[in-house]
Amino acid sequence: MTAGTSKDAVKAALTTQALETPSWAYGNSGTRFKVFAQPGVPRTTREKIDDASRVHAHTGVAPRVALHIPWDKVDDYAALAEYATERGVTLGAINANVFQDDDYKLGSVTNPDPTVRRKALDHLLECVDIMDATGSRDLKLWFSDGTNYPGQDDIRSRQDRLSQALHTTYERLGDDQRMLIEYKLFEPAFYATDIPDWGTAYAHCLKLGPKAQVVVDTGHHAPGTNIEFIVATLLREGRLGAFDFNSRFYADDDLMAGAADPFQLFRIMYEVVRGGGLTSDIAFMLDQCHNIEAKIPAIIRSVMNVQEATAKALLVDADALAEAQRTGDVLAANAVLMDAFNTDVRPLLAEVREDSGLDPDPMRAYQQSGWQEQIVKERVGGEQAGWGA
């Protein structure tokens, strides 16, 4: 917060925040050891949208829902978009899925077999068709492609194949559509992932053009990686397209954003604010797995955690910070940042909500809304949504 930044300005910034929740987070998820099903989990994409609309209704800052194809395949996407609008939310990014068919055992767009590559590419292009229908701006691409054993495939040829698929898909994008390229260190590939780090995603984006942007999933880095540095760097390069928020203690744990290291989330949001990212085209998405906790409240909590981190980031006294940095006063500069982090922003956020006519406590409001009881009662029979659905 610069000297000139009033509390009102902070509140205004917080009011306009818009997060995107992932349709699949409302469904069942788990680990390779076990997926624990939960009562009331949606069976259809419409039910997922119903749940997402509840998250937005209580938090006021989660107006978009990302889809995952084919998990969210429907016959009429325009009707789906209308359904969402009626429930107060809009459809967000289209997430392509090229990892769950048997054909993809050794890769999708990087598979040594050209037939499999073609199939995967067709799916990517189909996703752009869906974007046309839903009006979605973003095509989100995460590839599980990689190898488990040294020698299994040629690392370099896989980059060539990847590049080809990306280019063809990029050509298919409309003027207002973007391609978001996600990187991930490992899992499910256990030796070499084809897009393992931001550098690789960035290098491909450069060659593709301005509509290609990098996605930072906060759980996809090697231990010790300074994520906020990557955020600042990509913002400086104009290549930060989106976040997949979640948190982790170990690997890609996919815990609730801010749950494992709230200070890190604050530092990330500080770099976003500092780099002008809050008012940019960046898509702020969640990508989490609520394996053992109740899903809708877990998503509400995650949204609130991102919101709290944002509020703290906005409260940093930019002038005092700049002055301490300029004079090389290490402790004073650090203290300015920590002062904002140590502030309890919950009262401020309660105000923001009340100003918007919302209950100041979204968690309590959801619990009291009766929604959970209703879906547990009504969503009986059918097949619950899940990663494999």
DSSP state at residue 221: S
The answer to the question of residue 4 lying near a second copy (CB under 8 A) is no
Applying the rule CB under 8 A, the residues between 228 and 287 that interact with a second copy are 228-230, 232-233, 235-237, 248-251, 253, 255-256, 259-264, 267, 271, 274-275
H helices within the chain, ranges in order? 7-15, 45-59, 77-86, 114-134, 155-172, 198-208, 227-237, 262-274, 295-315, 318-326, 330-342, 346-355, 362-369, 371-378
Distance in angstroms (rounded) separating the CA atoms of residues 155 and 139: 25
Q: Which of 61, 216, 269, 337 binds a second copy (CB under 8 A)?
A: 337
Residues 36-95, interacting with a second copy (CB under 8 A):
36-37
| Residue with Cβ nearer a second copy (18 or 318) | 318
The separation between CA 6 and the C-alpha centre of its own chain, rounded to angstroms, equals: 30
CB 235 → a second copy: shortest distance, Å? 8
CA distances from 194 to 137, 156, 177 (A): 25, 9, 24
Q: Does 369 bind a second copy (CB under 8 A)?
A: no
Could you give the CA distance from residue 263 to residue 183 in angstroms, rounded to a whole number?
23
Q: In the complex, what is the shortest distance from the CB of residue 232 to a second copy, in angstroms, rounded to a whole number?
A: 5
Judged by CB under 8 A, the chain residues 112 through 131 that form the site for a second copy are: 112-113
Quick one: 75 or 102, whose CB is closer to a second copy? 102
Say how far apart CA 17 and CA 367 lie, in whole Å.
24
- Select from 176, 292, 357, 383 the one that contacts a second copy (CB under 8 A): 292
- Does position 154 bind a second copy by CB under 8 A? yes
Among 133, 173, 350, 363, binds a second copy (CB under 8 A): 363
Q: How far is the CB of 175 from a second copy (least distance, A)?
A: 26
Segment near a second copy (CB under 8 A), from 1-9, 14-22, 46-54, 153-161? 153-161
Find residue 181's DSSP bridge partners.
141, 214
In sequence order, the β-bridge partners of residue 69 are 96
Number of residues that bind a second copy (CB under 8 A): 105
Binding pattern for the stretch 294-313 against a second copy, x by CB under 8 A and - elsewhere: x--xx--x------x-----
Torsion sign over Cα 213, 120, 99, 19: positive
Does residue 360 bind a second copy (CB under 8 A)? no
From the CB of residue 188, how many other CB atoms can be counted at a distance below 10 Å? 12
Decide: helix, strand or coil at residue 140.
strand
Q: Does 365 bind a second copy (CB under 8 A)?
A: no
198 is a contact residue toward a second copy (CB under 8 A): yes
- Tell me which of 338, 350, 358, 365 binds a second copy, using CB under 8 A: 338
Query: Residue 77 CB, nearest distance to a second copy (Å)?
Result: 25
Provide the 10 A C-beta neighbour count for residue 224.
5
Measured from the CB atom, is 326 or 381 closer to a second copy? 326
Q: How far apart are CA 92 and CA 104, in angstroms?
A: 26
